[in-house]
Amino acid sequence: MDAVTDISQRTGGGAEPAAHERLYRSLRSQIMLGELPPGHALTLRGLAADHHLSMTPAREAVRRLVAEGALTLSISGRIATPELTDDRIEELAALRALIEPELAARALPRAHFALIDRLARMNGQIADAVERHDAVGYIRNNLDFHRTLYLRAQAPAMLAMLETIWLQLGPTMRALYGRVKRNEPPRHHRMILAALRAGDEPALRLAVRADVTHGLRHLTSG
């Protein structure tokens, strides 16, 4: 049995689905928040031991993450977080630039003042993470800022697609944080908040697009 076939086996038994779901969600969160660097190797045996599980739920959790592009699986069976090429980073950034302004525009008619105030408070949490030099906290709060707005779009298929893109970019976004000297929250967030308060869709689309593509030149520079 080759490694791809082996890792694709389905789980069975009453307790295993809950176990694999917990591991899946834990790993997914770690990857999306950049807690694992690009090219970080994992093993089924190590995952099972670290999470006090059998090999079967570890195999199933990894299979799901490989399918989402959050992990890579080589022909030899090596499991790792993706190391994205410049072309792949540009592709994912282009997808963000297409999807996120559209989600923001769809959310705009439902962006009441209470939501905007909540987003402003979340931007304050991003500022706190910057002050603490907390890369994971920065990424978590930044994604929460965007997700909270996009949930108002009531476009679950688009949001699910976007979360897969965020997942694939997670380790690389952590690397980006190390390159960009952050001393304040993203300035484009202030533009997003201003456009929401004004009900200005063109300005909102422009601000979101600028925000999600701003780091590209840092990611693709040598």
Q: What is the pLDDT of residue 184?
A: 64
Q: What is the mean pLDDT of residues 153-163?
A: 96
**Residues 156 and 213 both lie in one domain:** yes
Domain count across the chain: 2
Contacts of 170 (CB under 8 A, 6+ apart): 31, 32, 33, 34, 36, 70, 81, 139
Domain that holds residue 128: 86-220
User: Which tens digits make up the pLDDT trace of 100-118?
Assistant: 999 999 999 999 999 999 9
Asked which of 9-18, 74-83, 142-151, 153-162 is least confident by mean pLDDT, the reply is 9-18
pLDDT grade for 217, boundaries at 50, 70 and 90: low
Q: Which of 80, 108, 125 is the last residue of a domain?
A: 80
Contacts of 208 (CB under 8 A, 6+ apart): 100, 101, 104, 188, 192
pTM for the predicted model, two decimal places: 0.84
Residues 44-48: contacts with CB under 8 Å, at least 24 apart: 44/7, 44/79, 47/23
**Residues 177 and 195 both lie in one domain:** yes
d(CA 49, CA 100): 38
Q: What is the pLDDT of residue 219?
A: 62
**Residues 66 and 98 both lie in one domain:** no
CATH classification of the domain holding 59: 1.10.10.10
User: Which tens digits make up the pLDDT trace of 52-90?
Assistant: 888 999 999 999 999 999 999 988 889 999 888 888 888
Tell me the average pLDDT of the chain.
Answer: 86
Q: Is the pLDDT of residue 181 over 90?
A: no
Q: What is the pLDDT of residue 77?
A: 86
Q: What is the pLDDT of residue 132?
A: 86
User: Which residues share a beta bridge with 73?
Assistant: 79
**Residues 93 and 59 both lie in one domain:** no
Q: Which of 80, 109, 129 is the last residue of a domain?
A: 80
Strand 79-80: give its sheet, edge to edge. Answer: 41-42, 79-80, 72-73
Residues 181-190: contacts with CB under 8 Å, at least 24 apart: 182/130, 182/138, 183/130, 184/127, 184/130, 185/123, 185/124, 185/126, 185/127, 185/130, 186/126, 186/142, 186/211, 186/214, 188/214, 189/123, 189/126, 189/145, 190/123
Q: Is the pLDDT of residue 12 over 50?
A: no
pLDDT grade for 8, boundaries at 50, 70 and 90: very low
Q: What is the pLDDT of residue 135?
A: 84
The one-letter code for the residue type at 34 is G
Of 75, 102, 222, 97, whose CA–CA distance to 169 is shortest? Answer: 97
